[in-house]
Amino acid sequence: MTLASRLKDKTLLKTRCYIGGKWVGEDARQIDVQDPATGDVIAQVPSLGAAETRAAIESANTAQKAWAARPAKDRSVILRRWFDLMMQNQDDLAAILTAEQGKPLAEAKGEIAYAAAFIEFYAEEAKRVYGSIVPAPASDRRIVVLKQPVGVCAAITPWNFPAAMITRKAAPALASGCAMVVKPATMTPLSAFALAELAERAGLPAGLLSIVTGKAGEIGGELTSSALVRKVTFTGSTEIGKDLMRQSASTVKKISLELGGNAPFLVFDDADIDAAVEGAVASKYRNTGQTCICTNRFLVQAGVYDEFVRKLAEKVATLKVGSGFEEGVAQGPLIEMAAVEKVEEHVADAVAGGAKILTGGKRHAKGGTFFEPTVIAGMKRGMKAAQEETFGPLAPVFRFDTEEEAIEMANDTPFGLASYFYTRDIGRVWRVAEALECGLVGVNAGLISTELAPFGGFKESGVGREGGPWGMEEFLEVKYVAMAGL
């Protein structure tokens, strides 16, 4: 079945770049987009570079000034229409997403709703960019504080959330009066184009949102070196995030980085174990383990260790693996073969060190990039799965004895994005939540993402926050106006 035949509105399947309000790139070299479940080529998109990126930046620069000058309510109305269109086309957008990314269709629909929720939230927030008046040091003076849009922004986004990572950046940018040039991941450009198509239908003026696919280094080089771009926002690997930070230094751009994690999931002796297992599966196996807030390490207290690992392995063994379009599938394929090899490497390293596979542990019989959902017990701290983000369906379980030891183990990483813990002791809830060195904490909860809360990391997990009013501030400059002689 072709992707087009799955769509009610086939015109959402766009395969050209969207620059300055025009669909371009037909004559450029084309890049294959594959369905990770089958390896089939589902579309071809243009491979553009520095010149086209420059054109996108220039049209953003022109459009942004007029956009910022419009009343906030105008921006709000257009964004709200974009949200409505996304929800009206949720099924088609989800089908495009599953086809290029692999996640189960129900999960893809969830991502579309999540992605649209950022647009809804920031459509409302556009009207609430309040300045302030501060009591002045003299009676003939006033201190006025204004908030103004940063200007032209660049977003570089990953393949694991092809829709939500774009709207989480573009919605607050557009709401605050900025323009944005987006470079989506090469493996998942179709969701980005479909979002641009709907933004155009919502009435977003040309130039405010451009989507450029192609040579990452060239496009990124232009975005980070252009004096017209005032902010770079990125979600992806820590390695590329550090490169972009270095590149952006030459023009001192504002920067937001949402990078890798190494999320611990702590289960204390007093936890509700069945609830912990449910939260563990949700946090670990969402998107087949391919999110930066997926649990990377399970740390379980000695008194409940055996019960937890047994119940976790039993539950994980029931997860159905297959194409995201198949009924009842909970685990799609991994995005590419390199991802499969990384999971295999972590499994092999653990087994060589004496850990025991309780379920899964190898490539799935379906072939391709399918991997069995895996649980490994008896993990030790020096193992690869303890040190590096696996980004796949592997749950490694470690044992601890005391709360102090658990906190020390949890924080023993250069990363600090998400953590989770299960306990019924209210004193421990506060102590542990405050002691964990990370930006997001799930207490008795394995799924915590929402457009309403700040998302971002401590330490090498990143800079800045996305979501809620915090996400809006990232696209605003603060201007102090000193008034004298009044």
Ligand X SMILES: O=C(O)CCCC(=O)O
Ligand Y SMILES: NC(=O)C1=CN([C@@H]2O[C@H](COP(=O)(O)OP(=O)(O)OC[C@H]3O[C@@H](n4cnc5c(N)ncnc54)[C@H](OP(=O)(O)O)[C@@H]3O)[C@@H](O)[C@H]2O)C=CC1
- List the catalytic residues: 258
Put the strands of the sheet holding 22-24 in their side by side order.
22-24, 17-19, 209-211, 179-183, 152-156, 229-235, 254-258, 462-463
Does 216 contact ligand Y by CB under 6 A?
Answer: yes
Range 421-432 burial, b when 16+ CB lie within 10 A, else e: bbbeeeebeeeb
Nearer to ligand Y, 33 or 208 (CB): 33
Nearer to ligand X, 292 or 476 (CB): 292
Q: Minimum distance from CB of 160 to ligand Y (Å)?
A: 5
Phi, psi of 235 (to 5 degrees): -125, 130
Q: Minimum distance from CB of 301 to ligand Y (Å)?
A: 28
Q: Minimum distance from CB of 236 to ligand Y (Å)?
A: 3
Q: Which stretch in 77-85, 122-130, 234-242, 445-453 sits in contact with ligand Y by CB under 6 A?
A: 234-242
Which residue blocks in 141-215 are alpha helix, DSSP H? Answer: 164-175, 189-201
| Residue 406 contact among ligand Y, ligand X, none, beta carbon within 5 to 8 Å by kind | none
Put the strands of the sheet holding 132-134 in their side by side order.
132-134, 142-149, 476-483
Nearer to ligand Y, 240 or 441 (CB): 240
CA distance 293 to 60: 32
| Residue 86 contact among ligand X, ligand Y, none, beta carbon within 5 to 8 Å by kind | none
Q: Minimum distance from CB of 233 to ligand X (Å)?
A: 12
Nearer to ligand X, 248 or 283 (CB): 283
Q: Measure CA 344 to chain center.
A: 24
Does 34 contact ligand Y by CB under 6 A?
Answer: no
Q: Minimum distance from CB of 455 to ligand X (Å)?
A: 6
Nearer to ligand Y, 34 or 148 (CB): 34
Asked if residue 141 lies in contact with residue 327, where contact means CB atoms within 8 angstroms, the answer is no
Nearer to ligand X, 64 or 461 (CB): 461
| Residue 262 contact among ligand Y, ligand X, none, beta carbon within 5 to 8 Å by kind | none
Does 183 contact ligand Y by CB under 6 A?
Answer: yes
| Residue 449 contact among ligand Y, ligand X, none, beta carbon within 5 to 8 Å by kind | ligand X
Q: Minimum distance from CB of 348 to ligand X (Å)?
A: 25
Q: Measure CA 206 to chain center.
A: 26
CA distance 247 to 253: 9
Q: State the binding string over 352-391 for ligand Y (x if CB under 6 A, else -).
A: -------------------------------------x-x
| Residue 400 contact among ligand X, ligand Y, none, beta carbon within 5 to 8 Å by kind | none
Q: Which of 197, 200, 222, 258 binds ligand Y (CB under 6 A)?
A: 258
Does 243 contact ligand Y by CB under 6 A?
Answer: yes
Q: From its phi and psi, is residue 459 left (phi > 0), alpha (psi between -120 and 50) or beta?
A: left
Sequence-ordered list of residues with C-beta below 8 angstroms from that of 32, at least 6 positions apart, any chain? 41, 43, 44
Site residues for ligand X per CB under 6 A: 160-161, 164-165, 235, 258, 291-293, 449, 455
Q: Which residue has tokens 């570089």?
A: 156
Q: Where are the beta strands (DSSP E) in 25-137?
A: 30-34, 41-46, 132-134
Determine the residue type at 482. A
Burial class (CB in 10 A: 0-12, 13-18, 19+), 199: buried
Nearer to ligand Y, 131 or 217 (CB): 217
Q: Minimum distance from CB of 324 to ligand Y (Å)?
A: 18
Does 322 contact ligand Y by CB under 6 A?
Answer: no
Q: Which of 157, 288, 369, 419 binds ligand Y (CB under 6 A)?
A: 157
Asked if residue 354 lies in contact with residue 378, where contact means CB atoms within 8 angstroms, the answer is yes
Structure tokens belonging to residue 253: 């751009």
Name the site residues for ligand Y (rule: CB under 6 A): 156-160, 183, 185-187, 216-217, 220, 235-237, 240, 243, 258-260, 292, 339, 389, 391
